[in-house]
Structure 1
């Protein structure tokens, strides 16, 4: 997948001027979706700012795909509403579709057409004509790294390459908002890195991206904010740092003391925020219920008491740690 050429000017479609607020381009407002007695989505509300990447995280069956399908106007909410670029998916679905590109977790292809014909079909469906359509096709093929297989039948592509073509289909009409449901599925490690860079570049160019993935380390690097959902309920939302701070009650500390390690351990055990301390040779291992400033004070306490502190290792909870802490592994 190549970066967007700076010298390639791609005209936008003749769509109405931006209707949404300056900051929020995606909004879910008290969204509910019921299937009989199953509550797939229950009272979900969040916003995504224009030009930001939002990571949607949850176990299988949590309600991610249901809420994304509602955003993509492929389903209707039982209650509540969702807005794309200021337009309601309930009241203005046609205007939403012109502003949104949706990449589902699986999609159908036409066996007897090649990549360029497939993308050209959707370009025509969105009303692109003439030179404008040609430039969009060339740009999408270049951006997704599929220009070398433009004439290749889709049936001959690997799953990873089909994912690229599907992404190209979602981009063909130059939407303001991208909804990507597990876009990294089937991609090799190098392709995932390229995908991550590409999504960040799209956001830097003003597109708003909502992406779901089970590869949480990549979401942590890619996203401006995340939402954690389980059993149809939104459990936490905000930047990765905010959620880590909200949910982090303990951090794991390892302090290496060159001598008198046992005595240093006894000194730490008297501190209320220290728990589960273990002395392992020169290492003091324990859980610490304090912020970074309190951690600095803890080290200073040892030094002031005459202990030779040689190393300090602090393990801050990752997005995976927070996900495991917030969720319970429940499904519908």
Structure 2
């Protein structure tokens, strides 16, 4: 077995003080994070944030200006050939030949990775079964739907059984059923021990499938960790909604006298406001409001979702 001279003991994915500079543009600036072996990591950021640049560096399609990145312990700078054998990359757009069938397409990449004989046949059959393209394996790629093309691209990334998967916007343009099926496939691969880095703008799906996330903007990593930990760190207020049977305007005036209540608004019989106190303070507030004559029929405390956290952490800046 060939051993890289710059291998780390830890597997998975690791970025170490990564920079990528294009002229005056710093696309990636001092980004460092680790995705442990067998984990699913969600990479979040607006367009132009540096996500794809980071992924291209991990896929050895670009070199960092400074720093390094490691795939299953191998350096993208010093051991790119070993990285490519360990990595499956699914870009946001991929090229294909119109008259090539799905089977021929996957078979081409299997041969490119050096798979031969029974081993290649076995991998081809597994990939077509796992991705659900078995019934279309002899159909030309030009006749596939967007969802089936994404399945085919995932199959291409999986054909050599990589330890690490990099998926750049895999659910873009898919219908709800196709997104759910793709999400289930990613979940299965993660459960089988593959390390997965996936970017997406569909944040609710990332929150459901990922063990941890990283939020990047203008090339800087703003937050990283589990979804729950990031939500807790950013949870400075909670969004309270009260539905009242009595006079909502009187309830609004009552709330304005309490400093814990900000951004109060009234829509029909519903009041909405930001509350900076804890759960006990919230219970005391509601009890006092009822004691002063307000009849409440419904109360809802909205905890911050991943979308809320994303909007709070980022500023909508582009390079």
Equivalent residues in 2 for 1:220-231 (5 A)?
Answer: 220-231=207-218
CA–CA distance in structure 1, aligned partners of residues 308 and 174 of structure 2: 24
Instruction: Give SS of 2:232's match.
Output: helix
Equivalent residues in 2 for 1:127-166 (5 A)?
Answer: 127-166=114-153
CA–CA distance in structure 1, aligned partners of residues 269 and 154 of structure 2: 53
Instruction: Give SS of 1:285's match.
Output: strand
TM-score normalized by structure 1? 0.87
1:267 CA drift (Å)? 5.0
CA–CA distance in structure 1, aligned partners of residues 119 and 302 of structure 2: 52
1:104 CA drift (Å)? 0.8
Partner of 2:39: 52
Equivalent residues in 2 for 1:26-105 (5 A)?
Answer: 26-105=13-92
CA–CA distance in structure 2, aligned partners of residues 34 and 276 of structure 1: 41
* Corresponding position: 1:287 with 2:274: yes
* 1:20 and 1:84 in contact (8 A); partners too: no
Where structure 1 has 5 or more consecutive residues not aligned to the other structure, the ranges are: 1-13
The match for 1:189 among 152, 176, 181 is: 176
CA–CA distance in structure 1, aligned partners of residues 63 and 268 of structure 2: 61
TM-score normalized by structure 2? 0.90
CA–CA distance in structure 1, aligned partners of residues 246 and 66 of structure 2: 65
Describe the shift of the 1:85–1:293 C-alpha distance in structure 2 as closer, same or farther (beyond 3 A): farther
Describe the shift of the 1:158–1:256 C-alpha distance in structure 2 as closer, same or farther (beyond 3 A): closer
Describe the shift of the 1:291–1:239 C-alpha distance in structure 2 as closer, same or farther (beyond 3 A): farther
Range moving further from structure 2, 146-155 or 75-84: 146-155
Where structure 2 has 5 or more consecutive residues not aligned to the other structure, the ranges are: none
The match for 2:240 among 249, 253, 265 is: 253
1:116 CA drift (Å)? 0.8
Describe the shift of the 1:261–1:160 C-alpha distance in structure 2 as closer, same or farther (beyond 3 A): closer
Instruction: Give SS of 1:185's match.
Output: coil
Partner of 1:199: 186
Partner of 1:316: 303
Instruction: Give CA-to-partner distance per residue, 1:165-201, whole Å, 9 cap, x none.
Output: 1110000011111000111123221111100111011
Instruction: Give SS of 1:286's match.
Output: strand
CA–CA distance in structure 2, aligned partners of residues 253 and 57 of structure 1: 27
Instruction: Give SS of 2:258's match.
Output: coil
Range moving further from structure 2, 259-268 or 173-182: 259-268
* 1:30 and 1:79 in contact (8 A); partners too: yes
* Corresponding position: 1:169 with 2:130: no
* 1:227 and 1:236 in contact (8 A); partners too: yes
Describe the shift of the 1:54–1:292 C-alpha distance in structure 2 as closer, same or farther (beyond 3 A): farther
* Corresponding position: 1:277 with 2:264: yes
